[in-house]
Structures are given as structure tokens and as C-alpha cells.
Amino acid sequence: MTHDHSGYGGSEFDIDLSTDVLVIGGGPAGVWAALSAIDDGSTVVVVEKGYVGTSGPFGVGANTGIYYIMPNDREQRDAIVAARQPIAFGLSDPAWGYRVFDQSYANLDAMAKWGFEWPRNSGGKEDRGSLRGPTIMAFLRSVLLKKGGIVLDHSPALELLKSDGAAAGARGVNKQTGQTWQVRAGSVVIATGGTAFLSGIVGDRTHTGDGYLLAAEAGADFSGMEFTGQYHAAPLETNLTRGAYRSGVGTYYDNNGKPTLEGRQLVQALLETGGAWDQLDKTNDPVTQDLIRKTHALCFQYFERKGIDPFRQRYPINFVLEGTMRAGGGIAIDDDLQTRVPGLFAAGDVTSREKLVGAGPPGGGPASAWAFATGHIAGRSASAFSKSARGRGGVRAVTGAGRIGIETVAKPRVTTEEVLRVVKEEIHPLEKNYWRTGAGMQRSIERFESLWRDVATGLGPVSQGDAKSTARERLKTREAAALLATGRWIYASANERTESRGLHRRKDFPDMDPGQDGQHILSGGLDTVWLRRTPHVNTLTNSQGT
């Protein structure tokens, strides 16, 4: 079902634009998509739920590495790609490793040519392997604006637009002013990131699965949604998962004081002994300690506020869901980063990263490279589509593709608060989503399906009397629907894969099943979730590699 109305308040949209390429999401993948499309000669509008440059995990305070391969170092090129294959469990395409890491190098090189000053090590050599997210995003925003990109900050997209079956723009609101906006475009790139289901990790507040719902309503598919059970250790009462500050210099302990390892042992420690602890006790070197403090200054504010010396004191931790923000499943894309919907492209964490990492975790370095590289590729592909006969005409007739929670209601059948509560209760717990069982997932699926029936027919924003409040109510409604829909695709896919592989762990099927080697699970659907297995195929030639 589609609808075609003038504005969300019954009048014309406050902002009505036309462009060649619309990018939804202003993190690293979105900005690189915009820059690539502009360099290809297209006009670009970027819409972002937060503020382009400070939104999401990368812009909030990330200090992460990035993988890239040197053009003339054959040994390094092959080694960095080969290193990921054992933990991909047969579901990656090595040629994509060369493609992504080559492109990430090109992106970093472009930044230097645009005037970005990379930090230098003690030998005076540029250090391009360590990224300071806020600094880089501020620089890329400035480049985007200088190149003529139009940016709509605080402007979440609520629904896609379609024309003759192809993506043709989006509509949304400005959550600070209450203004409504519409952007008609020759093509669209979704770069809204993954979701941790509001678990509280850094940058997750703007990452609520919006892009998944937008794509699904337009007709896109998903792949590898079962490979999403990613958790990480974090100090209690914080959103600082381990990778943000720990630097591999600590020891984990169970609640009885016994040392334990991260991952399955730490989960068992939490479930069986009632708690877990951490201490950065593997270095007594003041210089190293000071370096860790300085490079993770934001993270260490927690310890300073609590009066904890993490190098000498143990502090309590939890294992926090990072979900699709740090895992492999997402929107299914082809080699041009196009979804199954013509003119609809996707980049970054919102996509399935199986082509690069298979069933395993992306990790910081590969994840950054994926965002940079796929953003560039998607932007270039979207620009080419917009210039094609099918993509031309940003002023063509369009209809809204939004179905769930779009139309206002006098009284919703279910509240957004109830939807979020149920989703968190079924997705956050270690005993449900880290250690999965068929019986447990079936109970979650039944609860989700019952709730979805109410959401699909009775969830909608209620007019709040003023434009700003109403805009935020619209956003909350769509976020809740997106999180519930994402949970349905995850558990349906996980229940279908009757084995343990990578980030998918089942207590009732603890081993890998050779009969499921090389099988991807596709999913999709709104009213009814569908599943389909498809064989793994390496679609790129290995011309980038050996």
C-alpha cells in the first residue's frame, strides 16, 4: 500500500527539494557517498537524524583503526585479506577484501589531498591507521559543504518515495523545528547505520533500525540477519564498550575473582556467578597508561567521575548488546551496492557485510574500511543510476512507500513505550540473544508477531498540538516500529539456521553443520516474514588481489 499526500500536516511540505542523489544518514558511509556522487557530477542532498559530523558512534567519540592495503606492497595486501578468512566461516568473498581495503586507502589519500593533516608518529611518518572520529567527521562535513552538498541536519527520513517501482526520494521532519520536508531524487542511498536496540552503547540513540524499515517498505531484502548477536564488555552504568578504551591491557574476572576470557566465558561468568569485573592490570608503565588515558579521554571520564583507577582497581562490568552496529547482517546489496529496489542503494553498517566478513564480526578496522569504501561505491553507483534514463527527473510524480506508523491516529492501539519494552525484553538478555535456542526464539517470535499485528493496524503518531512535538512523536513511532521489525527478521533468520556459526550461537545446535556451509539466509517482509536460503557465490573476480 502506498499513499500520496501533500504534507504531514495536510498542507504543502515546508521544504521541498529536488536533487540527483539523496543520501539518508550523515555518518562516514553517508558522507563518503555524498562526496563520491558530487565528484561524479551529481547534485546531492544529505538528510541526517542528528547533526552531520557528530552523530552516531563514529562521530560521537570513536577512536578506531581502519584497514587498508598499500598499492605496492603485495605481501601486506594478501596478508590483510587472508587474515579475515578463517573467521568468515566460508561466507565472505576474498575479492571484496581487496576491493574494500583498496578503496579505503584511496579515501584516506583523498583526505590528505583535500588538506587533512594526519597525525605523525615518533618517526615523523603519517599515521593513517588510527581514526579520530569527531575530527575526521568535522573535516568531511566541511569538504561536503565546500563541494556544494546540501545538508539537512536533525531531519530524519520517515518514508521513502517511489516512482514507477524505483526509489525516488524521501519525506521526513525536522525534529528541532517541526518543519516537514520532501526531497525528490533520481536515486537514494541509505546509510543510516545498524542498531543496538537502544542498549546504551556509544552513539546508539540515533541508530534505531530506521533504514531497515525504509528499505523493507520499498521492497528490499536482508541477508545474514542471524549474524547479529554481538555483545561487548562495558563498565556498569556506562555506554563504553570494551573496544572504546581497553586496548588489550586488562584481565576479566568472574564474581568469585577467577580470571576469565571475553566472549563465551565472560557470558557464563555473568550468568553463573552473578557478575564480572575488569582491571587494566597488564601494564605498569606510566607512559603507556598515560597514552591510553589521552587517546581515550572521553572514555576515561567515567573512571574519573567514579574515582576509579582502572589500572589498580577492579570495576564491575556487564556484557552489552552491540547488535547490528558491530555485526554482519543487514540490507542485501549487489556489487554496485544496489538493493533489490531499482535506484535504492545502501552503504555502511546498514548493509549486510557478509561479502567482507562472512559470519564473523567486522571489528573496528574492517568496519571503518567498509563504511568508507561502500559509501564511495554506493555514491558513485547512485550517481550513475540518477543519470540513466530510469533515474532522470527529480520532479517526476512520486508516492510515499511508508506503511507502518505514518498516518496519525486519535488513539494508538499500542504505545511506543510498550513496543520498546517488549523488544528490549526479548533482544537484550544474554540468555535469549547471545545463547539462542529454538524454543526460546519461538517464544520471542510469537510475542513479536502478536505485537506486530497491533503495530501494523493501530500504531501511529498522535497530534501533539504543536509542530515540533508532533514531529518528534512521528519519529518515535517510526523508531519503535523499525526496532520491532528488525527483531522479527533477526529471530526468524536465527531460528532458520540450525547450527552455530560465527556470531550466531545456538545451545541446541552447538556445532557448525557442514550441510549448511556456503548458505546465506535471506529474509524480508512486513505482514509476513519470509526466509530463503541462497548459495554463496563469489561475484567479483580477484583482479584486485593475486
Which secondary-structure segment (H or E) carries 297?
helix 297-306
Average pLDDT, the chain: 90
pLDDT at 514 over 60: yes
Q: Would you state the cell numbers that stand for residue 224, as one nine-digit string?
A: 545474514
Distances (CA, A) of 20 to 23, 38, 179, 315, 430: 10, 9, 22, 52, 44
The ranges assigned to domains in the chain are 15-229+324-400, 231-321, 416-535
- pLDDT of 129 reads 66
| Residue 410's pLDDT band (cuts 50, 70, 90) | confident
Instruction: Determine the Cα–Cα distance for residues 162 and 317; give it in Å rounded to an integer.
Output: 46
Number of Cβ within a 10 Å radius of residue 541: 8
**Greater pLDDT, 17 or 70:** 17
pLDDT tens, 198-210? 998 877 888 999 9
Query: What's the confidence (pLDDT) of residue 249?
Result: 83
Q: Which residue, among 22, 367, 305, 377, has the nearest Cα to 171 in the 3D structure?
A: 22
Tell me the one-letter amino acid at 286: P
First to last CA, the chain: 49
| Arithmetic mean of pLDDT, 88-97 | 96
CATH superfamily assigned to domain 15-229+324-400 = FAD/NAD(P)-binding domain (3.50.50.60)
The CA distances from residue 119 to 124, 240, 253, 304, in Å, are 9, 25, 36, 27
* DSSP element (H, E) containing 173: strand 166-173
φ, ψ for residue 530, nearest 5 deg: -115, 155
pLDDT at 242: 58
Q: Which of these ranges, 61-70, 102-111, 252-261, 358-367, has the smallest mean pLDDT?
A: 61-70
**Nearest-angstrom CA–CA distance, 302 and 319:** 17
Largest Cα separation within the chain, whole Å, is: 67
Q: What percent of the chain has pLDDT over 90?
A: 68
Interior angle at CA 416, CA 411 and CA 421, nearest 5:
135
Q: Domain 231-321 has what CATH class?
A: alpha beta
Q: How many CB atoms lie within 10 A of CB 284?
A: 9
Run of H or E residues at 482: helix 467-496
> Which positions ≥6 away from 223 have C-beta within 8 Å?
329, 330, 331, 332, 352, 354, 520, 521, 522, 523
Distance CA 283, CA 304 (A): 19
User: Hey, do 231-321 and 416-535 end up sharing a CATH topology, with the first three levels equal?
Assistant: no
3-state class (DSSP) for residue 234? strand
User: Which CATH architecture does the domain made up of 416-535 adopt?
Assistant: Up-down Bundle (1.20)
CA separation, residue 101 to residues 95, 356, 373, 464 (Å): 10, 10, 8, 48
Nearest to 432 by CA among 410, 447, 449: 447
| Spatial separation of the C-alpha atoms in residues 330 and 524, rounded to whole Å | 11
**Which region among 382-396, 424-438, 486-500 has the lowest average model confidence (pLDDT)?**
382-396
Mean pLDDT of 523-528: 97
- Is the dihedral angle over the CA atoms 392, 33, 322, 415 positive or is it negative? negative
Q: Given this model, what pLDDT does residue 2 score?
A: 46
Find, among 66, 64, 29, 62, the residue nearest to 48 by Cα. Answer: 29
pLDDT higher at 136 or 395? 136
pLDDT of residue 237: 77
- In this prediction, residues 86-113 reach a mean pLDDT of 94
Query: Residue 63's pLDDT band (boundaries 50, 70, 90)?
Result: low
3-state percent helix, strand, coil for the chain, nearest multiple of 5: 40, 20, 40
What's the pLDDT at 526? 97
Which of 128, 144, 139, 123 has its CA nearest to residue 36?
A: 144
Q: Tell whether the model's pLDDT for residue 1 goes beyond 50.
A: no
Q: What is the pLDDT of residue 543?
A: 43
Least Cα distance to 56 among 48, 66, 65 occurs for 48
